[in-house]
Amino acid sequence: MFLLVIAGLALPLAVWPHDSETQVDGSANFNQSEALNFSQSAIGRRISDYQFRNSDDRAVQLSNYLGKPLVVSLVYTSCHHTCPLTTERLSAAVDAARGVFGADGFQVLSVGFDAEVDSPARMQAFARQHRVGGPGWAFLSADSETIAAFAAELGFIFFPSPKGFDHLAQISIVDAEGRVYRQIYGDDFSPPAIIEPLKELVFDKRVGQSRLDDWIDGIRLFCTVYDPASGKYRFDYSVVITAITGIVCLGAVAIFLVHGWRQNRESDRSSL
């Protein structure tokens, strides 16, 4: 597996490629650095409204899943290693994220990029085999032209190989308006890799809320912390207690200063 290094982290480029370059759709060569640049260049890009078929073989639009943050993972169902492992790790992160954002705080899409094989029935079987999915998680299929265009807009690289497909190990976080917000790489990520960018989108960028809602969300944004022992997020009350203590102390100092100022003022008046 190629490795790309960014900020000191090993970044898997593809699954056991054959040489130092990769190929997208058999036409354009990408070396390791170019592959990373291709993926990163998608950040900020708004994804087009493609049509897919869900696991019930019904036509759906990408826009059906927008209006809230979206986690997108491209897989192929014949994969026996990276795609299942990535999907199962994503499932663990999604379970932890539901505890932070609730059942409907974000959406998840697993999209089959092997258009000739990844039918709605195969995507449904893939979800069942790996015991992933549930409310808010859709498994989608599309024709090869749609998949190629969708993958390119997401910055996702894949190409046929004797072992099936070589592909970039990537999960994309998309904002509520359909713009790529963050890329997560590799098949060995922990829940915070998914949850932290979702926290930024869910709590920091929502509009039309009251000041009380903003205040509550601000607390949730900074006070929910990941507990590696349990694999879940928990609310860190010490942050709230520290903040309240600080506010009380500042208030006490302010009262003391105002009281002293008033006493001095009254003393000055009585001496006239």
Say what the pLDDT of residue 65 is.
Answer: 97
How does the average pLDDT of the chain come out, rounded?
Answer: 77
Q: Which H/E stretch holds residue 9? A: strand 9-12
4-25: per-residue pLDDT in tens? 333 333 344 433 333 333 334 4
Q: Which residue would you say has higher pLDDT here, 174 or 16?
A: 174
Amino acid 256: pLDDT: 65
Q: Which percentage of the chain shows pLDDT scores above 90? A: 49
How far is Cα 202 from Cα 67, in angstroms, rounded to an integer?
11
pLDDT tens, residue by residue, 128-144? 999 999 999 999 999 99
The answer to whether the CB of 71 falls within 8 A of the CB of 94 is: yes
Spell out the domain ranges in the chain: 3-208, 236-270
In which element (H, E) is residue 153 found? Answer: helix 144-154
Q: With CA atoms as reference, report the closest residue to 95 among 195, 205, 215, 239.
A: 195
- Cα 240 to the chain's mean position, in Å? 26
Those residues with Cβ within 8 angstroms of residue 249's Cβ, 6 or more apart along the chain or in another chain: none
Pairing of strands 28-31, 21-24: antiparallel
Interior angle at CA 229, CA 187 and CA 201, nearest 5: 60
SS (H, E, C) 88-144: HHHHHHHHHHHHHHCCCCCEEEEEECCCCCCCHHHHHHHHHHCCCCCCCEEEEECCH
Distance CA 142, CA 147 (A): 6
Give CATH for domain 3-208. 3.40.30.10
Q: Is the pTM of this model over 0.85?
A: no
For range 146-168, the mean pLDDT: 91
Q: What per-residue confidence (pLDDT) applies to 259?
A: 62
Pick the closest to residue 39 from 12, 17, 70 (CA basis): 12
Closest CA to 201 of 133, 105, 59: 105
- Residues whose CB is less than 8 angstroms from the CB of residue 60 and which lie 6 or more positions away in sequence, other chains included: 51, 52, 53, 54, 138, 140
> Where does the pLDDT of residue 102 fall: very low under 50, low under 70, confident under 90, or very high at 90 and above?
confident
Q: Tokens 């359909």 identify what position?
A: 178
Q: What counts of helices (H) and strands (E) characterise the chain?
A: 7, 15
Planar angle of CA 211, 173, 183, nearest 5 degrees: 130
- Which residues lie across from 224 on neighbouring strands? 235
221-252 pLDDT, tens per residue?
444 454 555 555 455 445 445 555 656 666 66
* More confident of the two residues 259 and 175: 175
Q: Is pLDDT above 80 for 98?
A: yes
Sequence-ordered list of residues with C-beta below 8 angstroms from that of 196, at least 6 positions apart, any chain: none
Q: What average pLDDT score do residues 189-210 get?
A: 76
Q: Give pLDDT tens digits for 59-91.
A: 999 999 999 999 999 999 999 888 999 999 999
